[in-house]
Amino acid sequence: MHDRETLQKSLLKRNQQVPRYTSYPTAPHFSEDVNGESVAAWLQELDDSCDLSLYFHVPFCRKMCWYCGCNTKATKRYSPVDQYLEYLLKEIDLAADKLSGGQTVKHIHFGGGSPSMLKPMDFERLMAAVRSRFSVAKDAEIAIELDPREVSEAKVAAYAMAGVTRASLGVQDFHEDVQVAINRRQPFHVIYDAVNLLKAYGIKSINMDLLYGLPHQTEEYLRENVDFASALGADRISLFGYAHVPWMKKHMRLIDEGALPDGPARLKQFGVAKHHLERRGYVAVGLDHFVLPRDPMAKALEAGTLKRNFQGYTTDAASALIGFGASAISSLPQGYAQNTPATRSYFEALDAGRLPSAKGKALSGDDKIRRSIIEHLMCYFELDLIRFCKEHDLDIGQFDEAIEQLQGLKMEGLVTLNEGMIRIPREAQQAVRLVCAAFDTYLAISPARHAQVA
């Protein structure tokens, strides 16, 4: 039996960079073998009974935050946003034309960048286009990511009129010295006012994104961040570790690396925040989500229907996710496809009447099986491999290599293996990505760099 301190040391010793597994295979393994023509054919093959989820990427912000790993650009002018909207509308028409029209949209998500860059009338126009080309369920969840500094009453009124049911506020940290260090100053009253506006217009499901591992953060700061977010009435709180990847995002070089906490400090920050969230009555969901017991995500966890996609943990069970906008990723029964991230290429493809997918991955039977294993582990931190193989009519021997790879983790107490049951201990749940990596047949041949475990 390993105590918590020993497990934490073992985790730090293995703090190599592994994927976050919001998909399998992961994005570094996408290739140009999948393009717009592939996606057009995949959309045409979807059954009428297939539920849809739609994702819209708006790659613009007023100001670049130095911690940001998203595909976005800063602009103070609205004309680039206005032009981009016209192409989003083109893409909606082009994708909808490929479908039979019998599918039902159960979930819509607006991400970025910052969708709150859109003017109220433009957001209404975008939602009107969606409703005119797709059959949107009356009880569909419509979620939008918001920069609290960009929220206004006119925008919130537009969101409410368009049927938005959930808002996700990018908070990261409530303390001014941390905010200055990441180039994201937003006084408490700005967040407070945004929450009150949303609730006043009937948008009462509120998510807040918090980060740990930022410059100047302390354990006490993490406790206070939890207290503030809880006091503001957040139903869901995402607690992500800041991924410092300056080789991928040059603006991260502006962050003072000397002010970043090291691996042990990051683990302590996460542990303190997690404990404080649970004391506040939040239920831990997966690696990094905390929700109130009444939240649909808590109920999905209990019912065994929790899912994981490119937005993280979700209750969205739609079998087809269609991504719109530059860099947006679609997840269809046949495979994954990612739109070109460059807006110029995105515009050129749509002007030529082509879907703007630039790369992707068609899924093999083995990919789908391993995706199911990895998703289940990421959601529940355990898997009965013998039962899984029986349910899917598989020979358990095909996972001998994965089990062999897990032996080292087992020796260090980061996973237990007992008669086919794989279980990650509660005290070291960050090890789940290391366990998933054992089932990843692509990882060993990949030169890609990912985020660290802790």
Are 275 and 149 found together in one domain? yes
pLDDT for 10 beyond 90: no
> For residue 349, is it within any domain?
no
Tell me the pairing of strands 307-309 and 289-291. unpaired
> For residue 336, is it within any domain?
no
> For residue 378, is it within any domain?
yes
Here the CATH number for the domain that contains residue 305 is 3.80.30.20
For range 168-189, the mean pLDDT: 96
> For residue 356, is it within any domain?
no
pLDDT for 294 beyond 90: yes
Are 211 and 300 found together in one domain? yes
Are 254 and 118 found together in one domain? yes
CA dihedral 134, 135, 137, 141 (to 10 degrees): 0
Are 170 and 222 found together in one domain? yes
Here the CATH number for the domain that contains residue 5 is 1.10.10.920
Alpha-carbon span 375 to 24, nearest angstrom: 8
Are 406 and 384 found together in one domain? yes
pLDDT at 248 (0 to 100): 85
| pLDDT averaged over every residue in the chain | 94
For range 440-450, the mean pLDDT: 66
Burial of 346 (0-12, 13-18, 19+ CB in 10 A): buried
Residue 412: Cβ within 10 Å count: 17
Domain that holds residue 371: 1-25+364-454
pLDDT for 328 beyond 60: yes
If pLDDT is split at 50, 70 and 90, which confidence band does 174 have? Answer: very high
pLDDT for 449 beyond 90: no
pLDDT at 447 (0 to 100): 45
Report CA-CA distances (Å) from 36 to 95, 144, 256, 274, 349: 10, 26, 41, 42, 9
pLDDT for 445 beyond 50: no
> For residue 142, is it within any domain?
yes
If pLDDT is split at 50, 70 and 90, which confidence band does 1 have? Answer: low
Are 33 and 21 found together in one domain? no
pLDDT at 57 (0 to 100): 97
pLDDT at 18 (0 to 100): 82
For range 5-11, the mean pLDDT: 81
The answer to whether 100 and 137 have CB atoms below 8 angstroms apart is no
pLDDT at 7 (0 to 100): 83
For range 267-295, the mean pLDDT: 96
Domain count, the chain: 2
For range 221-240, the mean pLDDT: 97
pLDDT at 386 (0 to 100): 97
For range 352-360, the mean pLDDT: 98
This prediction has a pTM of: 0.94
Alpha-carbon span 148 to 158, nearest angstrom: 16
pLDDT at 451 (0 to 100): 56
